[in-house]
Amino acid sequence: MMAGLGTLLGDYTVQNVLLGAVFLGIVSGVLGSFAVLRQQSLLGDALAHAALPGVCLGFLIAGARSLPWILAGALATGVLAALTMLLLIRRSRLKTDAGLGIVLSLFFAAGVVLLTYIQGQPNAAQGGLDTFLFGQAAATLRSDLYLMGGITAAALTLVAALWKELKLVTFDPQFAGAIGLPVTVLEVVLTAMIALAVVVGLQMVGVVLMTAMVIAPAAAARQWVKRLGAMVALAAALGVAAGATGSLVSASGANLATGPLIVLTASALVLGSLLLAPGRGLAWAQLRRWRERRAIGERQVLATLYRLAAAHYDPAYPTELGTLDTLYGGTPRRALRRLERRGLIAPVAHMPHEEGPHWELTEAGRRAAERTLEGNSGGAG
Amino acid sequence: MAETPLHEPGLALHIEDLTVAYQGAPVLWDIDLDIPPGVMAAVVGPNGAGKSTLLKAVLGLVRPSAGHVYLLGRRPRRMLKRIGYVPQRSAVDWDFPTTVLDVVMMGRYGQLGWLRRPGRETRERARAALAQVGMERLAGRQIGELSGGQQQRVFLARAMIQQPDIYFLDEPMAGVDATTERTVVDLLQRERDAGKTVIAVHHDLQTVHDYFDWLALLNVRIIAQGPVAEVYTPENLHKAYGGQIPLFEGGRKARGQRAAGAGRAPEGAEP
């Protein structure tokens, strides 16, 4: 097994793919955190789809499948799409979701038209341009990595330098404006950097699935942390984990597409985080609800026994199981067993057996019931 | 003092001919407003009167169609470090991953400038401000776990560490508990007594008399402005509210009735 992994890591192509996936994980995790917190998750989607016409234009200008040209084109149309969207939302009555939808489909349609035009050309070099739809990680070259690494480093530097400003603009743009921060400029910087992240991912996962890389690591990370710094760091780590897992699984011979595997891994991380993260996870919330319901059930039984005893002026009044059955429309046997285990109630042993099982409050049970009835929830908790 | 000559430096806030319009419809129309320094002023008016927009126009957050704003004789852009702003609580997403102390420290970001991180001095200021609003024990708390009143106090502490000369508050008493309302009012009155100017958008007509000493009645236009005693008259209120609130026909309400008054939701009742 280790030998298998060693051989994999020794493979030149696998190294390239792995490094590319790591860059993609870092840059999309970091910038995705800001996008998710600004509730602009779908911005990544629009930017990614809008990159397709740029890919084609870059190809047309370079006359060959040259990655720098293609990525520059992708960045240009991505930014153009973002600006169009901003204009639409500010100047018309369209809401953000409608603006996103219009821009996304307009640019993507233009991209597909350009793509089919290029594919109709008698140019041998056009082969494989459609891999930008779903990505083709195996085609990653060492020279591509320099570009992707450079973009990642630039984005990280910018985020580090503008950390407190980006945090404030994300959390409270009005206050940021009131203390004189150039809010619009910072928002444009963030958007442009997300466009850069998309560009890094084009080669790996393609325009269609890139949005998952922007959203998934950040959304998963949000579940586990309490600080923005921790969220950004964890999102980058999860992005790297997804990228590495996806590319290694793909390279291990199964011959499955790398990009979709990366996205599937990231989605699994989101699912796990949504379910399991302490405090925010759905599983914990369900557990909490279940415990509360159980505690309330116990308290009700305890209070019933207490009231019956009080009504009969007998602290050790034996309550018949049948009475509880009628009262609760079913026997609260499990609640009774738990209360007995905690020594709050005891079965009455000396009843004639034809009367059926009876229960009485112990001294501790009486005190617990009194506390409960006084409104102090500590009684049966 | 070699800069541009000051315009009405004797006034904390001086607004001339301010008009703000959204997509053709005027939200604020030809506002002339003067507020002297050292007062605690309420901006009061019905829903949609443009109260929040007025604050945002003064702070440069919305662009006016016409008019000028001066703070202590200067354009607001030159006064940003002397302004403390408390936005509406609902303006932010309280699920943001950060702590109470961190939010309060944001108040110093303007003074810190680019590339500099908040250090120990900022942290100590923030702790002191939190102590003043009675929340020092919640400094490390996740902001998503705060009640409405606690959120409001965090925002006030954030404005206080700016050490401003003029406070602008947008509905600081909306949807907070009685303890918070008392704390906020006491602190603001203390700031006023120290010579600061407090300007707050306020929603609760019934407390205007108790909390404020200056009043601007707004309904797209300025209806009346001046000391509360002069402005708070049934005629002015009627003009501002157009008789929509018969509750106030008689002017001030008695104390006993006020306890059950509207606009004072219990803590946690708001969304």
Q: What is the pLDDT of residues A229-278, one digit of tens each?
A: 999 999 999 999 999 998 888 888 777 888 889 999 999 999 999 998 88
Nearest to A74 by CA among A46, A60, A48, A55: A55
| Confidence grade of residue B269 (pLDDT, cut at 50, 70, 90) | very low
Whether the pLDDT of residue B255 is over 80: the answer is no
Place of tokens 């009504």: A311
Taking the model in full, what pTM does it have?
A: 0.82
Nearest to B152 by CA among B172, B132, B135: B172
Helix (H) or strand (E) holding B122: helix B120-132
The interface predicted TM-score (ipTM) is 0.86
Q: For A242-251, A353-362, B202-211, which range has the lowest pLDDT when averaged over its residues?
A: A353-362
Domains by residue range for chain A, with CATH: 11-280 (1.10.3470.10), 284-377 (1.10.10.10)
Q: For A66-70, B28-32, B152-156, which range has the lowest pLDDT when averaged over its residues?
A: A66-70
**A168, A170, A175 member nearest B85 (Cβ):** A175
| pLDDT for the residue numbered A221 | 95
**A161, A174, A179 member nearest B80 (Cβ):** A179
By the CB < 8 Å criterion, does A171 face chain B? yes
By the CB < 8 Å criterion, does A167 face chain B? yes
Average pLDDT value for residue range A133-150: 85
Place of tokens 């200021």: B125
| pLDDT for the residue numbered B253 | 44
Q: Among B71, B99, B102, pick the best mutation site for testing chain A contact (most A Cβ within 10 A).
A: B102
Average of per-residue pLDDT values in chain A: 85
| Tens-digit pLDDT profile for residues A188-228 | 899 889 888 888 888 888 888 888 999 999 999 999 999 99
Whether the pLDDT of residue A326 is over 90: the answer is no
CA A251 – CA A248 distance, rounded (Å): 5
User: Residue B98 and residue A37: Cβ atoms within 8 Å?
Assistant: no
CA B210 – CA B228 distance, rounded (Å): 10
Report strand pairing: B25-35 vs B83-86: unpaired
| pLDDT for the residue numbered B143 | 95
Amino acid code (one letter) for B26: P
Task: Give the rounded percent of residues in chain B with a pLDDT score beyond 90.
Answer: 65
CA A31 – CA A218 distance, rounded (Å): 8
